A and B are shown apart, each in its own frame.
Chain A
């Protein structure tokens, strides 16, 4: 108790907010708090020495080690988490695993994510995606969303620079024997996904395709010949072990398992119906040993896998298949990718309505919306059409009334919105540079168009 109170920083009067110190801090900060407290820092030092080069059982056989672990479980170090792309991310993760490897068996199938949970739904990205897919004049015939995504990236200086950065690194031949530097390629890919806003990176990675040229472009996004494929396909469990020796890879994999694990409780099959979190942890795996990718250029079925197989699993075959299925046959991941491609996020939980969106004052001309469509992304564009179809695709999981109301709104909105849509397309043909070059101004323009 003495330790706990001292770790809490300035002593607070007894009884006031007894758990206040439990507010999660990042592990770098927790480490600083611990270092400022002699008894915590000495236990932490002991524990690190215990863990160094020893397995968990050997460590726990030592009484001193056991005591150190028990004390540290009550310190802020135990609850601490890290943020993706934070300063000192690696240091933070090293601290996290130094405690948690001592706490778990170390051989668990799923590990808890060391990253802070993604709480915001960030539906903005989905809304943007829906505007892109909905407003394209040729959306229903021969448009290539992956090509559009490349265009959007090329017209943004930051995205263009970092995309060209990884493409040139990943396609640079080193010598006759060495096709490319995989290490440098992975590093450049990580920089791209860390530093470019996800409205660009997700569009490139998860664009929806109707033909093979598009799907092949999507598969090529990460330059798989260098970043993904290898001479041999290792066994997936071996690959997992390699990944787990690296703190960053281990953390990203744990994060993927936390956010993309298929769940039977939710309608979308995703934990907390949070597509964003799943897509984010998927993208977070790119540039590590466990880099996933589309296995082929199929337009009808999306199959994702890391570069591994279950050959040579011995008596671990079942575990290997289970591990691989979380990529290849994962309904959460597949739904999330398809929903992003179609520009449809879900808002299925009435308990947590999405925050109100600032809308221009409604006029008589703006389309009447059924009350139950409160997710902003279905409001003011033609993507409502895709919302309807995609809901029908997931049909069996949704109840009938929801399905009907969404489809009803399709016909209503399509007829209501048509004249306005036409004006927008005309304007776009005249000055395409203006809306395609800069993404954010599109939204106000679009809103204005509908109001006028």
Chain B
């Protein structure tokens, strides 16, 4: 079962979804309405490019010192879902855009 868990943690980058209440989003809205929150999750090992390897090498050789660089691809939304509208606890409608991921990729 340990191996199973390990494999689960190293799943490749993909879209996952969660049912959450609007209040749980932490955006300051008060509403019990439930929305579908899609997010990107997983690793990007397969997407490592020469760029990443070289950047790592430059860093270890101290050719790059003080700058903040990222030498690993990162699982992020490539596109966002359509707007989401909801009614809040005070009977006002709100629309949030780019709340939820539509497509994920290693960038």
Contacts and interface: CB of A to CB of B under 8 A. Distances in A.
A163 interface: yes
Tell me if A's interface is mostly helix, strand, loop or mixed: helix
Interface stretch (A74-82, A154-162, A283-291, A311-319): A154-162
Q: Which of B36, B83, B85 has the most CB of A within 10 A?
A: B85
A164 interface: yes
10 closest Cβ contacts across the A-B interface? A167-B85, A164-B85, A151-B34, A168-B95, A171-B93, A164-B83, A154-B35, A167-B93, A161-B82, A150-B33
Given A216-B91, A223-B93, A168 B33 contact: no
A170 B19 CA distance: 26
Contact of B32 (A147, A220, A437): A147
B91 A217 contact: yes
Interface in A117-150: 144, 147, 150
A9 to B, nearest CB: 46
Interface in B14-72: 19, 32-36
A168 B83 contact: yes
Contact of B91 (A150, A168, A220): A220
A163 B84 CA distance: 8
Contacts of A170: 93
A362 interface: no
A436 interface: yes
Interface of B is mostly: strand
B84 A154 contact: yes
B93 A432 contact: no
Contact of B87 (A155, A160, A168, A217): A217
B33 A151 contact: yes
Given A154-B86, A155-B36, A220-B93, 18 more contacts: A144-B32, A147-B33, A151-B33, A154-B84, A155-B19, A160-B36, A161-B82, A163-B85, A164-B83, A164-B85, A164-B95, A167-B85, A168-B83, A168-B95, A171-B95, A217-B87, A220-B87, A437-B19
A171 B84 CA distance: 13
A216 B87 CA distance: 11
Interface of B: 19, 32-36, 82-87, 91, 93, 95
Contacts of A436: 19
Given A168-B95, A433-B19, A155 B84 contact: no
A307 B55 CA distance: 67
Contacts of A223: 93
A147 B19 CA distance: 14
A86 B76 CA distance: 42
Nearest to B89: A213
A432 B20 CA distance: 12
